[in-house]
Structure 1
Amino acid sequence: MALTQNQVDVNGIMYWLYIGKIFVNDKFLSCDMVMAFDMTSEEFSQVCLPESLALKTDINLSISKLRECLVVLEYNKEAKKRVYGVWMMMERGVSESFTKLYTINRPDGSIRNVLGFRMSREAMIELVNEDDFNQNPIVVYEPSSGNISNIGISGVGFSCFASSYVETLLLLDQ
């Protein structure tokens, strides 16, 4: 049982993925959930995932954010290629509010990692370059068409990440 290093801040609430086990019908089952910490009230809470995500043993989960909403990414760890399901929490703390937005699927199975999302719901993805493992291209996946655009940036296996930011005109005194 452990909190993962994968965390995301959405509107002043920090979320972490929790991977653990629960005891049901005389046996232990893998159970994934999301823990939340509200930085204003300084309170912890639990975000229940839909059963289709929380109790499956053949998938891995990670979290991200899209348009100031929590996003859960699922992929089947037993599959030969990575196919990602993108789920978004529409209402904080309500497991029934998770909606599957779309599935990211590459016929050649070259997805290494989903890094994050643009405001337009496009996913930023690190692909596997079979010819040169030191040059994994970062691409943008457009969900409605399935088109992938190379943005001209490459990374070295799992070394890439994406993070959101907010521009400001606030000047800091030094």
Structure 2
Amino acid sequence: MNCLAPPLIIPKIFRNVIVSFNMKDEAFGEVALPKSLQGLDHLSFSVALLDGLLAIVPRNELGNEAFQAVWVMKEYGVAESWTKLFDVPIRRSENVFGFTKSGEVLVPKGGGLLSLGPSSRGYVDLHIYDTQEIFLDTYVESLVLLR
């Protein structure tokens, strides 16, 4: 006697979301991603600050090509305000490093660090080499005293 079992349905156990922490209320929250990114499986992205706005830089790979899009949230907490600014072409082994104060994107290329102007779409060689030894992070001034 052959019995066929119904197909096993495995629910999704992950979601693409940014977790926030409100220091005033000491409460965790969620910041929704752009609708076009919410349902993607295995989304890899970094969070940054661009011109005072929350930014995300998701990685997309299509065949041998890769690029990272730059999205900003124009109104904090409003999911509908996410706006895609531009795409940054990269190699599969590279990632956007960060942003300058003027909004340029820092991208590793050929062992060096280049600056990509979003409006000009042109690269400028910063003459910084051996990017394996570079670590960048966002600095925000604050009057909050740390213990």
- Normalising by structure 1, report the TM-score: 0.66
Matched, 1:65 2:49: yes
Q: Residues 58 and 77 from structure 1, CA distance in 2 versus in 1: closer, same or farther, beyond 3 angstroms?
A: farther
Distance (Å, rounded) in 1 between the aligned partners of 2:53 and 2:100: 12
The alignment covers a number of residue pairs equal to: 135
Structure 1 counterpart of 2:69: 85
Query: Normalized per residue, which structure has more strand?
Result: 1
Matched, 1:162 2:131: no
Q: Residues 110 and 30 from structure 1, CA distance in 2 versus in 1: closer, same or farther, beyond 3 angstroms?
A: closer
Distance (Å, rounded) in 2 between the aligned partners of 1:153 and 1:67: 23
Q: Which residue of 117, 138, 141 maps to 2:113?
A: 138
The amino acid of 1:100's aligned partner reads: K
Contact 2:103 2:118 in 1 (8 A): yes
Distance (Å, rounded) in 2 between the aligned partners of 1:143 and 1:98: 17
SS in 2 for 1:40: coil
Distance (Å, rounded) in 2 between the aligned partners of 1:79 and 1:160: 28
Structure label with greater radius of gyration: 2
Structure 2 counterpart of 1:49: 33
Q: Residues 27 and 78 from structure 1, CA distance in 2 versus in 1: closer, same or farther, beyond 3 angstroms?
A: farther
Distance (Å, rounded) in 2 between the aligned partners of 1:37 and 1:119: 25
Q: Residues 90 and 71 from structure 1, CA distance in 2 versus in 1: closer, same or farther, beyond 3 angstroms?
A: same
Contact 1:76 1:82 in 2 (8 A): yes
Q: Which residue of 107, 115, 121 maps to 1:125?
A: 107
Q: Residues 94 and 26 from structure 1, CA distance in 2 versus in 1: closer, same or farther, beyond 3 angstroms?
A: farther
The amino acid of 1:57's aligned partner reads: D
- Percent identical: 29
Unaligned residue ranges in structure 1 (runs of 5+): 1-24, 130-135
The amino acid of 2:26's aligned partner reads: E
- Normalising by structure 2, report the TM-score: 0.77
Q: Residues 166 and 93 from structure 1, CA distance in 2 versus in 1: closer, same or farther, beyond 3 angstroms?
A: closer
Computed over aligned residues only, the root mean square deviation of the Cα atoms, in angstroms, reads 2.7
Distance (Å, rounded) in 1 between the aligned partners of 2:127 and 2:42: 34
Distance (Å, rounded) in 1 between the aligned partners of 2:20 and 2:42: 24
